[in-house]
Amino acid sequence: MSTVGVFGLGLIGGSFVKAYHAAGWTVLAHNRSRSVLDFAKLSGDVDGELTKENIGECDLVLITIYPEAAVSTLREFAPYIGEKPLVMDCCGTKRVVCEAAFPIAEEYGFTFVGGHPMAGTQYSGYKYAKATLYHNQPMVIVPPRYDDIFLLGRVKSLLSPAGFGRYSVTTAEAHDAMIAFTSQLAHVVSNAYVKSPTAKQHHGFSAGSYKDLTRVAWLNAPMWAELFLENKDYLIGEVDCIIDSLTAYRDAMRDNDREKLTTLLEEGKRLKEEIDG
């Protein structure tokens, strides 16, 4: 029987726990809050606590906590991991973790791979975790060596219980540059959008557009603040870009320039068609 160890029982870690439990794996877990770990054990999703004594028995170890905590946890447990487990973090940025983790793994003789499951909800915590969260969703892999086909095959095999739909292999730098646009900017814009004084009166006047744009305004503020600051070099560039675009729309409306405004709107529509079909 295969064994997975999971650090962190929030939405991401909890969903891995439930998926691997459903697949028949032995599940060990470690969580800062003892009450959540006890609940997960009581529910049957977790078979036991992940410790320094048993981490080396795992086939796969998933670190699903904040980046700084992920690095410190890896340093603490590194001497006890051994050669058997594949260790993977699931943090939202990759440079901070991978730059620290690859040398630690080399020093202690285990295999570490960066990972980022591209799935989630606006909710956080174990109570919102579900075994199907990752079904058919993308998974981004940041390996220590880009051309290690054997390692990538091992990663896909060990992650198969989660049910990911496709895998992307990239570098930590490229990942963080892209995620600033595809995820982090969306959270910034959504969170800022609901600060309009009009928002409190929206009921009865809003439908799909409002719901789509505000879904991720409901976020885990400490976690996203850490991610934003770790990736601020790329994220600030994306924020500046959208500010410039919004300024152009505002100026066209201020100047009553219908032709300019129409052109801006047509450009956005055309780009959306080119990007997504």
pLDDT(56) > 90: yes
For 140-188, what is each residue's pLDDT tens digit?
999 999 889 999 999 999 999 999 999 999 999 999 999 999 999 999 9
Judge contact between 7 and 13, C-beta under 8 A. Answer: yes
pLDDT category, 230, cuts 50, 70, 90?
Answer: very high
CA 68/CA 190 separation, integer angstroms: 25
pLDDT category, 204, cuts 50, 70, 90?
Answer: confident
pLDDT category, 120, cuts 50, 70, 90?
Answer: confident
> What integer best gives the mean pLDDT of the chain?
95
Judge contact between 81 and 87, C-beta under 8 A. Answer: yes
pLDDT(245) > 90: yes
pLDDT(205) > 80: no
How much is the pLDDT for 115? 98
Half-sphere exposure of 187 (CA within 13 A, CB side): 19
Residue 164 CA: distances (Å) to CA of 48, 115, 139, 143? 25, 12, 6, 17
pLDDT category, 121, cuts 50, 70, 90?
Answer: confident
Residue 169: alpha-carbon gap to chain centroid: 15
For 232-241, what is each residue's pLDDT tens digit?
999 999 999 9
**Measuring CA to CA, which residue among 249, 239, 193 is closest to residue 218?**
193
Q: Which residues pair with residue 88 across a beta bridge?
A: 62, 113
Which strands form 86-89's sheet, in the order they lie side by side? 48-49, 26-30, 3-7, 60-63, 86-89, 111-117, 138-142, 166-169
Judge contact between 78 and 107, C-beta under 8 A. Answer: yes
CA 168/CA 249 separation, integer angstroms: 35
pLDDT category, 207, cuts 50, 70, 90?
Answer: confident
Bigger pLDDT: 120 vs 271? 271
For 86-101, what is each residue's pLDDT tens digit?
999 999 999 999 999 9
